[in-house]
Amino acid sequence: MPIFKIYPSFKEKLPHVALGNVPTPVQKMKRLGEEIGAPHLYIKRDDVSGKPYGGNKVRKLEFLLGDALRNKTKYVLTFGCAGSNHALATGIYAKQLGIKSISILRPQPNAHYVRKNLLLSYFFGLELHQYPNKTLLYQGARWQRFRHLLKDGRLPYVIPVGGSSPLGTVGFVNAAFEIKEQVTNGEFPEPDYVYVASGTMGTATGLLLGFRAANMKTKVISVRVNDASRVNKGSMLKLLYDTNALLHSADSSFPIISFTEQDITIHQDFFGKEYALFTKEGAEAINRIEKSEGITLEGTYTGKTLAALIHDAGRRDWKDKAILFWNTYNSLDIVDTLDKLDYRKLPSSFHRYFEEAVQPLDK
Ligand SMILES: *Cc1c(COP(=O)(O)O)cnc(C)c1O
């Protein structure tokens, strides 16, 4: 961990368990870059951040599950939508550590990846619950915690939605220092802009704090893929301050940095109508990177983010700018027998994702 080298007392003060396969590579996207007028376009391969399951949640879980281990917990409980990559990643890595997991889920628009993540959740033994709305979800979560208290004599360790607590966000402060190391090693030029999907903001916020703490010029462009009530400058400022305070208290040589709304860029125009409802621009971006680079993205997060990047490339002069696209979506195929699993073994509230059509833009 680059931050453990620079701030040695983080290693004692912050809970951490190594799960990932880091540093993840950065590769040039030569063809796509030339096509869109960004000759110095790169991709951060967090899609292969860990085995068996990559994506951006692994970096957060190293700290969150490290804390769960310190608490000697038997169960973790977390939140998401039905196809949540976060809940799945939590369950897979918790299991590696001998901890069971509970996913408290909400409905979302149907997609192939929802089916896949639900079957994987079943395969890895996650305990799944779905509640139709926010109120019932909070009541359901309270009931499940209480039920486990009675059953196991202990409350489950709660991980917030997306893993975006200050502690989880530290994973991406570290990722910014990882980029700095890779730049120092001469692997690629210091990025002018990083484009990253923002759903619960931990990824973008950690990077923003990390680049500033590492004295880099890199600007983070957060592409909003969730409701504005969840992704906004006010909430991001709070997460910045809270994460910064946590790190400063763990090692006082970590600076306290002052941030204002001017330091934050949130791209608002590529969200579309609803969380996890794919957009035409996103679907086009997914096709484009598949054709030119052979890279597979998805429609909830990374497709919308690449659409924003391509849009901006057409309107700016990026001939001399280094642009880094952060691939936050797992690309590893982990279970080849998945299509042999029977969805009817899942709790019945999830069957509809297999019995109803996927959304039209999901091919
Ligand atoms: C969770 C997730 C994100 C969003 O990250 P946040 O830290 O929640 O903003 C982006 N991409 C993928 C594929 C994800 O699963």
pLDDT for 334 equals 84
pLDDT for 363 equals 81
Tell me how far the alpha carbon of residue 163 lies from the centroid of ligand 1, in angstroms.
9
pLDDT for 251 equals 97
pLDDT for 335 equals 85
Residue 289 has pLDDT above 90, yes or no: yes
Residues with CB under 6 A from ligand 1: 55-56, 85-86, 162, 164, 197-204, 301-302, 328-329
Tell me how far the alpha carbon of residue 55 lies from the centroid of ligand 1, in angstroms.
8
What are the phi and psi torsion angles at 227 (to 5°)?
-55, 150
Q: What is the pLDDT of residues 180-226, one digit of tens each?
A: 999 999 999 999 999 999 999 999 999 999 999 999 999 999 999 99
Atom of ligand 1 nearest to the CA of 55: 13
Atom of ligand 1 nearest to the CA of 164: 7
Which tokens in the block code for residue 55? 């994506």
* Residue of minimum CA distance from atom 13 in ligand 1: 329
Query: Do residues 334 and 50 lie in contact, with contact meaning Cβ atoms separated by under 8 Å?
Result: no
Rounded average pLDDT over 112-126: 97
Q: What is the pLDDT of residues 228-272, one digit of tens each?
A: 999 999 999 999 999 999 999 999 999 999 999 999 999 999 999
66-80, 130-144, 326-340, range with the lowest pLDDT: 326-340
Which tokens in the block code for residue 164? 């975006």
Tell me how far the alpha carbon of residue 153 lies from the centroid of ligand 1, in angstroms.
33
Tell me how far the alpha carbon of residue 162 lies from the centroid of ligand 1, in angstroms.
7
Pocket residue to mutate for ligand 1, from 85, 230, 270, most atoms within 8 A of Cβ: 85
Q: What is the pLDDT of residues 152-169, one digit of tens each?
A: 999 999 999 999 999 999
Q: What is the pLDDT of residues 12-31, one digit of tens each?
A: 999 999 999 999 999 999 99
pLDDT for 170 equals 99
Round the average pLDDT of the chain to a whole number and report it: 97
Pocket residue to mutate for ligand 1, from 226, 328, 332, most atoms within 8 A of Cβ: 328
Neighbours of 317 (CB within 10 A): 9
* Listed residue (280, 330, 296, 346) closest to 115, CA to CA: 346
Q: What is the pLDDT of residues 313-363, one digit of tens each?
A: 999 999 999 999 999 999 998 888 888 999 999 999 999 999 999 999 998
pLDDT for 336 equals 85
Neighbours of 283 (CB within 10 A): 18
Atom of ligand 1 nearest to the CA of 60: 7
pTM for this predicted structure: 0.98
Rounded average pLDDT over 86-95: 98
Residue 86 has pLDDT above 90, yes or no: yes
